[in-house]
Amino acid sequence: MDIKEIIQPENLVYQKPELLNDTPMHYCPGCSHGVVHKLISEVIADMGMADKTVGVSPVGCAVFAYKYIDIDWEEAAHGRAPALATAIKRLWPDRMVFTYQGDGDLACIGTAETIHALNRGENITIIFINNAIYGMTGGQMAPTTLLGMKTATCPYGRDPKLHGYPLKIADIAAQLEGTCYVTRQSVHTVAAINKAKKAIRKAFEYNMAGKGSCLVEMVSTCNSGWKLSPVKANKWMEENMFPFYHIGDLKDINQ
């Protein structure tokens, strides 16, 4: 068979998304960030919304998200992305606006901005990368760090007497009147990736239909912070993160 016969659209099984550019990503091997970037790029392109989308990047490992996805971006201060997104969406109501935030950014320093944007029912989507750690600054404890989990600032394991309890932001978000879709996904298997992509698409579509705020939490790995190889990190996530951060929809006003 001639190679030209093989290179046909109907035989295509995988393609780099057109919005994901060729800039080498700085993410560690096995990190969930890169996969989620790919999904966002695909969804925006699938929806034909590249010229109408504005992303807001966080302070955290994804601070350079704007270098990888070829759309317009604003880079927020640590935790403030939902405030920026609120204004962008209100001032350009026909635009598709999302934030991309880590657990330190969203569930700690930016908790107020997050809760209030969701509670106001801003028509934005918050993509929330929950890796239970501060990846960028070298693996310190996050509000989402599991009990007993060791980090640079709780080297003997997270102790609730000293550090309090892990925060389930998605559970809080689901209680808010302003949210229309709150889901918890992951990207550690092909099946999970496909579901996660559908979740992002649904969230963006709800926003464009004016239904309210969406939170798509991605339970994620941080290989460097967890000090585990990509395979071991995925296994650790399934065994330790999923029992606490249950995967699935927490709220969908259309269900």
Partner 1 sequence: MADQEITLMKGNEAIAHAAIRCGCDGYFGYPITPQSEVLETLAEQKPWETTGMVVLQAESETSSINMVYGGAGCGKKVMTSSSSPGISLMQEGLSYMAGCEIPCLVVNVSRGGPGLGTIQPSQADYFQSCKGGGHGDYHLIVLAPSSVQETADFVDLAFELAFKYRNPAMILSDGVIGQMMEKVVLPPFKPRRTEEQILKECPWAATGRPKTRKPNVITSLELDPAKMEEINIRIQKKYAEIQEKEVRFEEYMLEDAEYAICAFGSAARIAKKAIEDARKEGIKVGLLRPITLWPFPYKEIDKLSNKVKGILSLEINAGQMVEDIRLAVNGRIPVNHYGRLGGIIPAPDEVVAELKKMMK
Would you say 103 or 217 has its CB closer to Mg ion? 103
Q: Is 88 one of the binding residues for partner 1 (CB under 8 A)?
A: yes
Q: Is 142 one of the binding residues for ligand TPP (CB under 6 A)?
A: yes
Residues present in the chain in total = 255
**Per the structure block, which two tokens stand in for 250?**
């927490």
103 to 132, contacts with partner 1 by CB under 8 A? 112-113, 116
Q: Is the CB of residue 20 less than 8 Å from the CB of residue 37?
A: yes
Residue type at 39 in one-letter notation: L
User: For residue 107, how far is the Cα from the chain centroid?
Assistant: 12
User: For residue 19, how far is the Cα from the chain centroid?
Assistant: 17
Backbone angles phi, psi at 253, to 5 degrees: -65, -15
Taking phi over 0 as left and psi of -120 to 50 as alpha, with beta for the rest, 131 belongs to alpha
Dihedral sign for Cα 161, 140, 233, 242, please: positive
42 to 71, contacts with partner 1 by CB under 8 A? 50-54, 56-57, 63-64, 66, 70-71
The contact mask relative to Mg ion for 95-114 (x = CB under 5 A, - = no) is -------xx-----------
Work out which of 27, 98, 181, 204 binds ligand SF4, going by CB under 6 A. Answer: 27
Whole-angstrom distance, CA of residue 39 vs CA of residue 177? 28
96 to 135, contacts with ligand SF4 by CB under 6 A? 131, 135
The listed partner (ligand SF4, partner 1, ligand TPP, none) that binds 54, CB under 5 to 8 Å by sort, is partner 1
Q: Got the DSSP string for 113-148?
A: HHHHHHHTT-S-EEEEEE-SEETTTTSEE-TTPPTT
The listed partner (partner 1, Mg ion, ligand TPP, none) that binds 61, CB under 5 to 8 Å by sort, is ligand TPP
Residue type at 134 in one-letter notation: Y
Binding positions for ligand TPP, rule: CB under 6 A? 59-62, 78, 102-105, 129, 131, 133-137, 142, 222
Binding positions for partner 1, rule: CB under 8 A? 50-54, 56-57, 63-64, 66, 70-77, 80, 83-88, 90-92, 95, 112-113, 116
Binding positions for ligand SF4, rule: CB under 6 A? 27-28, 31, 33, 61, 131, 135-136, 222-225
